[in-house]
Amino acid sequence: MNEFDDIRHYYDSEVVAVLSRLAKNREFIDTLLSIKYPRLRRWAPWLVRPVISYTLRSSFSKMRTVSHLHSAIRESFGNLLVEIGSVLTVTGLEKLDRNTPYLFISNHRDIAMDPAFVNVALLDDGRDSVRIAIGDNLLTKQFVSDLARVNKSFVVKRSVVGRREKMTALMQLSRYIRSSLAEDKSSVWIAQREGRAKNGMDKTEPALLKMLTFSKQKDQTFGNALQELNVVPVAISYEFDPLDAEKGLELLEKRTNGSYEKNEHEDFFSIYQGIVGRKGAVHVSFGEPLVADYTSADDAALAMDQQIISNYKLHATNLLAYYKLYKSTNETDIMLTEIDCDWVKITHEFNQRINSIAPEAQKIVLEMYANPVSQKIARRGSL
């Protein structure tokens, strides 16, 4: 057994068997029914299950490798962006060497779409896709695990208990990421922190950077070990968050009751809604590799944050939310001139969107959209 078999993504030789398993998976089929055809799922699932299974088998029959799967996903992804009126723009890739594998660390707003947009940016530029870190808390169902791992995802063991077990899992993860980059020459994507930044505040977790260096040589410094990983900060911004209302209600419940309990299939619904929901304009900004010899994880995390906040592309929705909560300033007026969009149309759509959210959660959602502006102002004030 390979050291990484329990966390690695599926190999090309496993793709056909995994896709065949998915096409027959009753729970996967029923989950698709619940999301797309809830009435049929309730009243006549027996009628539709064979149709969905046949459709899946037919689509999967053309996919023999991960590259085949990614080609099909890219085509479907492009069609979807057109259908939902989303436009992707990318900056910064021209600064990155095509033959160098990178560890892309990005801010985290959407479970599936953050790494998906990074992959689209890379594939459209003629580069290879990334291996994607995903927490095992999202892989509670076999079909979800199959879907993720056949799409080049590897598992982050967040559910392990016990100090020794956690350290063993982190060491394995660190070695896997380093092996992917150094030996397999494959780029990797991982979020800057555990969980999405549902409040819109992007901040790198120093513990993540410490974990990445667990696999270093004994005589290596922290900074040198981090340099070897070719870390590139990535800033991803969405004009609209398809799950803004859901995130607002979750944050409200946490503030009110101190905790929030997820419903069954909630994570899968979030993934699905994040994929098909309205996003508007999306921008992916690739930063500069971290080349300094940082003496601590805190210093490296600060450098990460500086790039992500500086490179984060603001949308009209961010400023509209900021203006609803706070007064305009000279800085926000300058930011406004840098955004090219149909302000009348976006203002109308944004107001409708906010008004459709439960009144008690509206301020939380506005803060979610406004916080990237606040972070930029704070960042410029600290220079």
The whole model's pTM is what? 0.94
Locus of tokens 């799409």? 151
The string of pLDDT tens digits covering residues 178-237 is: 999 999 999 999 999 999 999 999 999 999 999 999 999 999 999 999 999 999 999 999
Q: What is the pLDDT of residues 135-174, one digit of tens each?
A: 999 998 899 999 999 999 999 999 999 999 999 999 999 9
Contact 269, 178 (CB under 8 A): no
| 170 conformational bin, left if phi > 0, alpha if psi -120 to 50, beta if neither | alpha
Could you read off the pLDDT of 60-85 as tens digits, one per residue? Answer: 998 999 999 999 888 888 888 888 88
**Which fold, 12-313?**
Glycerol-3-phosphate (1)-acyltransferase (3.40.1130)
pLDDT of 1 reads 58
pLDDT of 383 reads 54
Q: Per residue in 100-134, pLDDT tens?
A: 999 999 999 999 999 999 999 999 999 999 999 99
Cα separation of 318 and 366, whole Å?
Answer: 8
User: What six digits make up the tokens of 251?
Assistant: 């944050």
Q: Please state the φ and ψ torsions of residue 234, each to the nearest 5 degrees.
A: -130, 130
Write down the domain spans for the chain: 12-313
Q: Which residues of 279-315 are buried (b: 16+ CB within 10 A; e: fewer)?
A: bbbbbbbbbebbeeebeebebbbebbbbbbbbbbbbb
By the 10 Å C-beta count (0-12 exposed, 13-18 middle, 19+ buried), 337 is classed as: exposed
Q: How far is CA 63 from the centre of its chain?
A: 24
Q: pLDDT at residue 380 above 70?
A: yes
